[in-house]
A and B are shown apart, each in its own frame.
Chain A
Amino acid sequence: MMHTKPNIWVFGDYRNYFQNRVTLQLLSRAADLAPKMNASVGVVVLGSNINEYANEYIAHGAQKVYLIEHPSIANYRIETYTALIEGLVRKYKPEIFLVGATAFGRELAPRLAKRLRTGLTADCIRLDINAEGLLEQTAPSFGGNLLAKIVTPVSRPQMATVRPGSFQEIPHDSSRQGMVIYEPLPRKLPAERMRLVDYERKPQRGQRIEEAPVVVCGGRGMGSKNKFKKLFELAQLLGGEVGATRPVVYAGWADPDVLVGQAGKQIKPQVLFSFGISGAIQHTAGFNNAGFVIAVNKNPNATMMKIADVAIVADANQFCSALINELKKRIRNERR
């Protein structure tokens, strides 16, 4: 059945929900864009025992939920999910299909785009509708030094994977209404060629840096691995996470999974502390939407010092120690 209104679809990536909120963020953006195209916002959810997600998504802005529910697809399986979504897309022909750039999303979206013979832009940080009514996808490009505006002029759906943290979710509102459309599991589904031998949830390393409200980033200006460690103490005091630049990761002062930047994590903290960082674009591309940036560097002319809200000209180490000492004295009460 063809819907007369165009559809903006979002992939319901519910694994790791509650921390992983990218689907909600995409629904929010889709809801912003929908009026410009007179479109409705839909979300695709596959799995088993997934009704709670359908309700969540409606409460966060989805107008339609396309649900395929079956015990055999309880776990995310790439080939099966690709085939199922391909079927739904061919049936309902959405104009736009957005996928959160989780690891799964980044595998799912290209396969889908290839099967549907359509274009896909990776890791978008902005989405708009341009004057021609096309989805304008802004993504980092050329090693992260630049941003590119990309469109898919002809093929449909226009597809994009989107970096978590790029958009703000619509607050939960249980009074919102939406429609759930139950789609059956097709009878002739090709078998998965990849066997799942083991599947275990890794214990979370505390909150993820992408979601942290406070991030303390350190660069080479910290001086040494031992001095860099002090940042962890500061982050703990602030209830935040430590991030690192590429040279620091290469030097072994920090793990690759806290690399902030084009090749690493995109962060969206309310407050970002930047210690001893020059501000190479590969790094700054990692926090386009940070709230309040405080940079500490001996060199007042470093790029990081120019883009920060507060630029402190001081030795990064000394300042970090002084800040830790003062915070220890002051931190007493919970505000909330």
Chain B
Amino acid sequence: MDFNPTMKHNAVRKTVRKFAESELGPIAHEIDRDARFPVEVIEKMQPLNFFGLQVSREYGGAELDTTSYAVAIEEISRVCAGVGLCVTVHNSVGAFPIQRFGTPRQKERFLPLLASGKAIGAFCLTEANAGSDAGGVETTAVKDGDGYIINGTKIFVTNGGVCGTALIFAVTDPENPRKAASVFIVEKGTPGFSVGEIEDLCGMRSNPVSSLFFEDCRVPAENLLGREGDGIKIGLTALDTGRIGIAAQALGIAQGAFEASVKYSRERQQFRKPLASFQTIQNYLADMATEIDAARLLLYRACALKDSAKPFSAEAAMAKLYCSTTATRITNRAVQIHGGYGYSKEYDVERYFRDAKVTEIYEGTSEVQRMVISRAVLSKLT
């Protein structure tokens, strides 16, 4: 059991950190304040394979192992969680399902576009009446000749405002919604497909989250991913991978807040001493360091399992659960350590605090993660 990161992981970390600090660092505050998606930085990320981190080389991807992928997402999120969210959702649930379940033709059509970042990917599951209860999806895709007509509204779609392709989770057999859901690849510009207003959210504000509307939107049959009825399978597989990405994102947020807290504790003086000389603060920092480390190890264990083609659902759920709850705990503590300054927008920690919360909610709430984990626990024979 080797707990050491490899030289490659270190190299990936430094490379991504350098890019994130140079390109996102100076604008992170501003794009959060203005809820602006930084197109100019996205363009710089495209040739560097940020949008094809695990896509295979023949389609223009970097073919990175999962731990390297997690490191990359963490490092982006450590500086700017909103962009980290864009990248991980695009990779994990936008591109990966096509890589995994697509026909050679679909892969050829979509993966080079996605891997190059020319099209940003989105994954649409959530609806007004279907959040944790994925089976409550009401969007329909009715077969019509050599295509399908899609009707419905998807809400809270990450990357929604800029996506080039969207994977839509729709019911193909309305008689049997909980059995026959399917996934369709819908391209921007398809008649009947429109994008709603960008949501005004508490955190991750640089990410253009929006609703997607489908009104008699016709897609050709060749845009069906997998077969009719594969919806649940694809959805669950996608979310397993997505969990690793979100866990990495949450870890990055926690790490950023933690580093800021250490720095502040060293510099800020009260009662004629730096904060870091008080045991209370020392205890806080010790707890933060330990929790981040534990979160990190859970995450990398899930990555290692995935790369060895072993089942990793429960472990990915643990990683997502623990990384996200750690992020909210640590960012809360970070604001506290910064005192009044922590509450001010002049410091970054309040942004980390706001960004962290949603990591406990999207791609499966903490409660859903616990469902997955307890099922695994209770299904063991011994």
The answer to whether A and B touch in the complex, with CB atoms under 8 Å apart, is: yes
Q: Flag whether A250 is at the interface (Cβ < 8 A).
A: yes
Per the CB 8 Å criterion, the residue count for chain A at the interface is 6
B26 contacts A301, CB within 8 Å?
Answer: no
Q: Flag whether A148 is at the interface (Cβ < 8 A).
A: no
Q: Flag whether B268 is at the interface (Cβ < 8 A).
A: yes
Instruction: Give, as a whole number of angstroms, the nearest-CB distance from B310 to chain A.
Output: 44
**Which residue of chain B has the shortest Cβ distance to A278 in the bound complex?**
B267
B26 contacts A251, CB within 8 Å?
Answer: yes
Residues of chain A with a CB closer than 8 A to B267's CB: 299, 301-302
A301 contacts B268, CB within 8 Å?
Answer: yes
Residues of chain B with a CB closer than 8 A to A299's CB: 267
A250 contacts B269, CB within 8 Å?
Answer: no
Q: Flag whether B22 is at the interface (Cβ < 8 A).
A: yes
> Residue-by-residue, is B5-39 near A (CB-CB < 8 Å gives 1, otherwise 0)?
00000000000000000100010000000000000
**Which residue of chain A has the shortest Cβ distance to B22 in the bound complex?**
A250
A residues 254-309 touching B (CB-CB < 8 Å)? 299-302
Instruction: Give, as a whole number of angstroms, the nearest-CB distance from A253 to chain B.
Output: 10
Q: Flag whether B274 is at the interface (Cβ < 8 A).
A: yes
Among A250, A251, A301, A302, the residue within 8 A (CB) of B274 is: A301
CA distance A299 to B26 in the complex (A): 21
B22 contacts A301, CB within 8 Å?
Answer: no
Instruction: Give, as a whole number of angstroms, the nearest-CB distance from B322 to chain A.
Output: 35
CA distance A79 to B8 in the complex (A): 43
CA distance A251 to B25 in the complex (A): 10
**Which residue of chain A has the shortest Cβ distance to B21 in the bound complex?**
A250
Residues of chain B with a CB closer than 8 A to A251's CB: 26
CA distance A302 to B22 in the complex (A): 23
Instruction: Give, as a whole number of angstroms, the nearest-CB distance from B98 to chain A.
Output: 39
Instruction: Give, as a whole number of angstroms, the nearest-CB distance from A303 to chain B.
Output: 9
Residues of chain A with a CB closer than 8 A to B22's CB: 250
B residues 254-302 touching A (CB-CB < 8 Å)? 267-269, 274
B residues 327-365 touching A (CB-CB < 8 Å)? none
Instruction: Give, as a whole number of angstroms, the nearest-CB distance from A311 to chain B.
Output: 13
Residues of chain A with a CB closer than 8 A to B274's CB: 301
Residues of chain B with a CB closer than 8 A to A302's CB: 267
CA distance A152 to B191 in the complex (A): 79
Instruction: Give, as a whole number of angstroms, the nearest-CB distance from B366 to chain A.
Output: 37
Instruction: Give, as a whole number of angstroms, the nearest-CB distance from B278 to chain A.
Output: 15
B residues 181-220 touching A (CB-CB < 8 Å)? none
CA distance A289 to B277 in the complex (A): 33
Residues of chain A with a CB closer than 8 A to B268's CB: 301
> Residue-by-residue, is A53-79 near B (CB-CB < 8 Å gives 1, otherwise 0)?
000000000000000000000000000
**Which A residues lie at the B interface, using CB under 8 A?**
250-251, 299-302
**Which B residues lie at the A interface, using CB under 8 A?**
22, 26, 267-269, 274
Instruction: Supply 9 A–B pairs (Cβ within 8 Å), ascending by A.
Output: A250-B22, A251-B26, A299-B267, A300-B269, A301-B267, A301-B268, A301-B269, A301-B274, A302-B267
Q: What 4 A-B pairs have minimum CB-CB distances, sorted nearest first? A: A301-B269, A301-B267, A251-B26, A299-B267
